[in-house]
């Protein structure tokens, strides 16, 4: 792993040697991969990026895998100009970064492609993770492609498509009566005995590296000028942390200046530890009791990288905002009906939040704004049925033979 010069603890700044199997720092802080960007900037010019593949691996010089790349074609997803939705919300320069077109239907493919590639390079043959949904199916797919064993722990009420995907790809799945935090405890308790490498979000350094390509892509797709605001659905918050890291790297490479978008974390009202910590001016979050939301990926009661999310929000003059499940699904219908994008509830949460941010004046109508739709709505039949089921019951229920039961 010659490209990674070292690993650095995001909490205590301890420096660790690259090329070793590592999870968290001894202090408990997440580790970040560091590169010799001064050298890379003279060997890799911005104009050369367009000659790379139409995947996230076009940014290979700032990704950790050297040659053992496990890819299913992830990344380089569309950045869609949302004119009709923008007109409805009075946002004249609105864009949607549509991650639903990734393999396995979500942005999680980026992180797992990168992390599994490093696992193959290091000779790791067994991996495990706790997941609220989409990361599980991504891990199962990339582990299958790499020929390594995947052990996945998910809440029992995870969206059914995630469970089916994991089983189809041959992963070992354990359903847990609890939240993702309960699943993580089970992984941690068994990892040493079973010989598993914990590949959970922010519990190793390399999933974040794959996700940071969302930041590189949005810069390239906007001709290397960052937007005024990024509205991002935040469960664990790894994607937001990763993009913030990408912007720092691009500035050191000389590709962009020092201006940054307002980073806006969107959470569900039923699980909003980041919003509460931001409003309390706290440096980290507290466990959010009785977490519940229709958006499974937002149900993370205590993100391990919470302090990094909060730092990015404050350094960018951004904010954190919560939306209700009703607002989420109303926005999902509006996004699907206006732009032809069938969003995950998490992605729809960004659109719901944008409406509030514009109404409050936090964002100006003419600002260039990028919303992230992190997954396809096809992964969430239960959530969509809860919103559309009553209408379906009145019109098509008999034709479908009761296939969808309204809640």
Looking at the structure of the chain, the number of domains it has is 1
Q: What does the pLDDT read at residue 387?
A: 87
Q: What is the pLDDT of residue 400?
A: 47
Cα of first residue to Cα of last residue in the chain, in angstroms, is 51
pLDDT at 3: 82
Q: How far is CA 229 from CA 19, 96, 365, in A?
A: 36, 12, 12
Which whole-number Å values give the CA distances from 379 to 297, 300, 383, in the listed order?
11, 18, 9
Give DSSP secondary structure letters for 271-332.
Answer: B-HHHHHHHTT-SS----TT---S-GGG--SS-TTHHHHHHHHHHTT-EEEEE-HHHHHHHH
For residue 348, tell me if it sits in a domain: yes
Neighbours of 292 (CB within 10 A): 13
* Cβ-proximal residues to 340 (8 Å cutoff; 6+ apart), any chain: none
- pLDDT recorded at residue 264: 98
Give per-residue pLDDT as tens, 185-216: 999 999 999 999 999 989 999 999 999 999 99
pTM of structure = 0.93
Query: Which pLDDT value is given to residue 164?
Result: 95
pLDDT (0 to 100) of residue 392: 62
Domain assignment present for 5: no
Per-residue model confidence (pLDDT) at position 280: 98
Burial 35-50 (b: 16+ CB within 10 A, else e): bebeeebeebeeeebe
> From CA 288, how far away is CA 205, in angstroms rounded?
25
In contact, 330 and 383? CB cutoff 8 Å: no
pLDDT reported for residue 405 = 44
In a domain, 301, yes or no: yes
- Asked if residue 55 is part of any domain, the answer here is no
Report the distance separating Cα 353 and Cα 331, nearest Å. 9
Q: Which of these, 233, 266, 226, 231, lies nearest to 248 by C-alpha position?
A: 226
Q: What's the CATH number where 94 sits?
A: 3.40.50.1100
Would you state the pLDDT for residue 394? 55
Residues in the chain with pLDDT values less than 70 = 1-2, 390-407
How confident is the model at residue 407, as a pLDDT? 40
Taking alpha carbons only, the member of 6, 73, 62 closest to residue 33 is 6
Decide if 112 is inside a domain.
no
Q: Which helix (H) or strand (E) holds 31?
A: strand 31-35
Yes or no: say if 346 and 298 are a contact pair by the CB < 8 Å rule. Answer: yes
Residue 107 Cα distances to 121, 140, 158, 322, 406, angstroms: 23, 14, 17, 21, 29
Minimal CA–CA distance to 133: which of 119, 117, 152, 146?
A: 152
In-domain check, residue 328: yes
Q: What is the pLDDT of residues 13-62, one digit of tens each?
A: 999 998 888 999 999 999 999 999 999 999 999 999 999 999 999 999 99
Please check whether residue 253 lies inside any domain of the structure. yes
Q: 224: domain range?
A: 79-105+210-385
Phi, psi of 391 (to 5 degrees): -65, -40
User: Taken in order 302, 305, 307, 312, is the CA torsion positive or negative?
Assistant: negative
Task: Specify if 135 maps to a domain.
Answer: no
């Amino acid at each position: 792993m010659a490209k990674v010069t070292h690993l650095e603890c995001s909490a205590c700044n301890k420096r660790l040697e690259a090329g070793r199997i590592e999870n968290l720092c001894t202090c408990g802080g997440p580790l970040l991969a560091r590169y010799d960007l001064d050298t890379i900037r003279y060997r890799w010019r911005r104009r050369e990026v367009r000659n790379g593949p139409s995947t996230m691996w076009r940014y290979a010089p700032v990704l950790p895998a050297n040659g053992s790349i496990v890819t299913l074609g992830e990344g380089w997803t569309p950045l869609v100009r949302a004119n009709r939705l923008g007109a409805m919300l009075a946002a004249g320069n609105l864009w949607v970064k549509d991650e639903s077109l990734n393999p396995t239907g979500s942005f999680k493919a980026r992180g797992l492609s990168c992390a599994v590639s490093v696992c193959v390079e290091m000779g790791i043959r067994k991996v495990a993770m706790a997941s609220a949904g989409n990361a599980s199916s991504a891990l199962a797919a990339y582990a299958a492609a790499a020929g390594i064993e995947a052990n996945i722990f998910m809440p029992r009420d995870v969206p059914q498509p995630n469970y089916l995907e994991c089983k189809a790809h041959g992963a070992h799945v354990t359903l847990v009566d609890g939240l993702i935090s309960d699943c993580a405890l089970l992984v941690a308790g068994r990892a040493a005995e079973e010989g598993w490498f914990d590949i959970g979000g922010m519990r190793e350094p390399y999933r974040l590296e794959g996700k940071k390509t969302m930041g590189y892509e949005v810069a390239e797709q906007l001709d290397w000028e960052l937007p005024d605001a990024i509205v991002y659905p935040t469960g664990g918050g790894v994607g937001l942390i990763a993009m913030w890291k990408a912007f720092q790297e691009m500035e050191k490479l000389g590709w962009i200046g020092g201006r940054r978008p307002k980073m806006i974390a969107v959470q569900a009202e039923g699980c909003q530890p980041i919003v509460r910590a931001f409003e309390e001016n706290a440096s980290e979050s507290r466990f959010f009791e009785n977490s519940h939301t229709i958006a499974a990926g937002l149900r993370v009661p205590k993100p391990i990288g919470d302090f990094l999310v909060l730092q990015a929000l404050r350094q960018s003059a951004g904010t954190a905002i919560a939306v209700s499940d009703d607002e989420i699904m109303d926005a999902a219908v509006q996004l699907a009906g206006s732009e032809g994008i069938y969003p995950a509830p998490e992605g729809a949460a960004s659109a719901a939040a944008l409406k509030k941010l514009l109404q409050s004046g936090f964002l100006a109508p003419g600002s260039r704004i990028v919303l992230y739709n992190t997954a396809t709505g096809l992964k969430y039949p239960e959530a969509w049925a809860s919103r559309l089921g009553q209408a379906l019951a009145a019109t098509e229920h008999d034709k479908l033979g009761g296939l969808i039961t309204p809640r």
